[in-house]
Structures are given as C-alpha cells and as structure tokens.
Structure 1
C-alpha cells in the first residue's frame, strides 16, 4: 500500500515522520474543551483510542461506531469525576486503507484536501452560520453544536465521508486555532511558498501566532506516496 509522510506541529518545532500503510492508519487532530486539564484528558483519550483501533477499521461505518464509543467513554469519565464535568474534544482526520480514504470530524476542527495549491475542505463544521466578514478577515465563533463528550444533551452524530479523489493524496488537518485566525487564501499561499512540509507547518503556526494565537494550534500535513 505504500507509505505516508506526515509533518505536524502543536509546539514550535515541526515533526516529520513516515508511516507504513501495510495496515489501516488514522491521522487526526483533536482540540480539547472544558478547561485545560479536562480538555487535555478528553483529546488525549480520543487520539489514543483512534490509534489503538485504526488497524481494525475498514470503512466509514467503523469510524462512525468508534467515534460514538469514544463519545460515550469521555462522558462516562466525566460523570465519575465531578471536576471534569462537561469535558470534551473536537476531532478531525482521515482513515487511509486499501478500500479508500475516509475523512471524518466532530466539532470545528477541519480536514482539507490539498489539490495543487488549493485547499478544499472535506469536513463539515459543527458551528452556527456566521455573517459575512466586512474586513476580509475570517469570521470566528467559540460556539460549537457538538463534540466528543461535552455537555450537549442531543446525541452526537459524526460526519464521515469518502474522499472522492484518487491517490496519491495530500491532506491538511487543523484545529480552529489555525482556521479561525488565518484565511484560506493565506494558508494556500503559505503552503505553496514553503520549501517543504515542515516549513509549511511551521509557517502556518507562525501566522496563527502572529494573529494573536489565542487558541490551541494543532496542524498536521500528510501526503500519501
């Protein structure tokens, strides 16, 4: 099945690795909610469970079930620890396996497909519609309509779909700490001008930091070879 190169950053120094595609692989970012400690526990639990289960995932139905199970696990943990009431996390990513590439998300973290120098959003934001910007800057909100865990009363329903484009593919996954602060056009320009994926990830992080960096900034850029 080939290999996958991944550049990621949630600190100041990007990390690059190569991942074998001999078995299914999930790549994802998660952005915790409910205070620093609670959000960190929720997001770590989500990514650890996805990593644990990824070799067993065949398609979108498996991803849907896994995300619903993680949602229940986080909520159960919160009911057992009052200090973590309302803990939750967003998630966005992609499952790569022999049957295709499947994107998924819950919340407002995003998955984009990189097509040449253009980014096409695959994920579906779980946030209310916003008025158009009057100054050309991204319009943002801290409110989301669902997450893994969290305090929402309605049942969580993940967004899962097949990436319609053939391999090889390239994808950008990020928390709203990037997409809320850096416009799509600027993200496309930064990636196009970067010498390599590590430089692109660092430049994206730097642009978000220069635009106040007021939220968690998690970025993952992956290419299927």
Structure 2
C-alpha cells in the first residue's frame, strides 16, 4: 500500500540521439530533473502522490546552448513548484510565467534570441490527473494496449502522405519562449479523477520516428517498464535517431 494519494512509478530516458552533438531535451519527475544528459539505460523512481507531482518532458529550441538553457529552466521551475500545484489553473499560470522568464532571458542575452522549449506532461494530485502541453511534445494515456493522445500538437495541419506514413514537421506554432509575437496559450485538461493510470510522455524525437502502433507493440511486449522505455529508444534510434529522444513512462497506483 502507498501513502494517502497512492504513488507513481516513473521510468525515464533522455538521449541526444544518433545525429545531434548535444541533448537539448530535459525531463522532470517531481523534485528531480535531468538535463543535457546522454542516458543509454532508463532510470526508475517511485514518488508518493501525497503531495502533487509534476512529470514532464521539455524539448529545447533555438540551436545548441539556447534550447538547452530553455528546456533546463523549464524543468527546474516545474520541479521547484511541483508540490504547490493544486490544479490546472496553477499549471496554466506556471507555464505562462516560464514563457515570460525565457523571453526575458533571451532579450537580455542577444545570442539566445528566439530560444524556447516545448513541454508535455502531467500533474498528479489528490483531485485528479491533469495533462498539459505547449508545442509538439506529447502525452498519451495507455488504455489496454492502445495509446490515446491527450496533448494537442501545436503544429500546422499537413496533408496526408502518399505512402500512408505520418507526415511530420519541425515547425511549431507556439512554445515556451521562442520568437512568436502572439500570446502563448497552454493546453491543459483533466484526464480522469485521481484513478490509477499509465501514461507515456515523449519529445518528437520518438513520436516523429516511431508510429503509434509500433510504440503500442513495444510496450505490450516488454517485460518491464525499463524494457519498454529502452525498446522505444532503440526504435527511435533505428528510425534514424535524427533528433534528441526523451521518454517518460508513468504508472499511478
């Protein structure tokens, strides 16, 4: 039995991929953050949900160093505020504050002009399970063996491809920070009451390269969460590994 509110087990991996020289992704798990890392094996931690817990991936934008700084700032601020987030309104305010902070930093340091980061994640507390995102990083809920996308991609609609494969783009319509002139509006929603559940969060280094059906198969056939996350990373690497890859697999019990 866990403490009041249950607990969440989180298995995480973040890696630069097969092409990029650095990893501009970062992840947060409650008070824990991992940034600029090059992990080849996942780590697993178990966090009590007696206090609110935030889990998220962030994908830095704006070139080497700039994107790294933006994503690291985002996860550090989320870790700092994790236990104080009562619900979706608090998440909305936090993401808007991070957006302003990154823009202020870029204004003061011209070499970082336009830097930003995507974010996708969950807030788990005694009132429910809440998802949020800005940009094209994704949060899915695992329902049986199927992955249902909760997050809303901030990317322009694209025509279907001739070969039936997903069409992807590196262009996003908003991020935390970034050079957009319009106001950033986070997507925040309630997934379920504070029920048990399983979720996958990832940067587009996974979702652009590995079809959802393949992700579902890897998770279903893995003998453990560590095996599932490692298998997802391997599939992205085999799919060219052209981008940084970050993966969180979370189970609330």
Does the TM-score normalized on the shorter chain lie above 0.5? yes
The offset of 1:65, in angstroms, is 0.4
Evaluate the alpha carbon distance shift between residue 125 and residue 54 of structure 1 in structure 2; reply closer, same or farther with a 3 A threshold: same
In the TM superposition, what whole-angstrom CA distance separates every residue of 1:51-90 from its partner, at most 9, and x where no partner exists? 1101111111110000000000000000011110001000
TM-score by length of 1: 0.98
Gapped runs of 5+ residues in structure 1? Answer: none
Structure 2: which 5+ runs fail to align?
15-38
Residue in structure 2 matching 1:187, options 215, 230, 234? 215
Alignment of 1:9 with 2:30, yes or no, is: no
Please state if 1:79 is matched with 2:107.
yes
Partner of 1:160: 188
Identify which of 234, 239, 247 aligns with 1:211: 239
* Residues 101-112 of structure 1 aligned to structure 2 (within 5 Å): 101-112=129-140
Question: Between Structure 1 and Structure 2, which shows a larger proportion of helix residues?
Answer: 1
C-alpha displacement of 1:136: 3.0
Structure 2 residue 175 is the aligned partner of structure 1 residue 171: no
Look up the match of 1:32.
60
Normalising by the residue count of structure 2, what TM-score does the alignment of the two structures yield? 0.87
Q: 5 Å matches for 1:54-133?
A: 54-133=82-161
Contact 1:190 1:203 in 2 (8 A): yes
- How far apart are 1:21 and its partner, in Å? 1.0
Aligned residues: 225
| Contact 1:138 1:182 (8 Å CA) reproduced | no
- Hey, what's the Cα distance between the residues in 1 that align with 2:208 and 2:102? 26
The answer to whether the 8 A contact 1:25-1:97 is kept is: yes
Q: Any idea what SS the aligned residue of 2:165 has?
A: coil
In 1, distance between residues paired with 2:161 and 2:13?
28
CA–CA distance in structure 1, aligned partners of residues 92 and 186 of structure 2? 6
Contact in 1 for aligned 2:54/2:121 (Cα 8 Å): yes
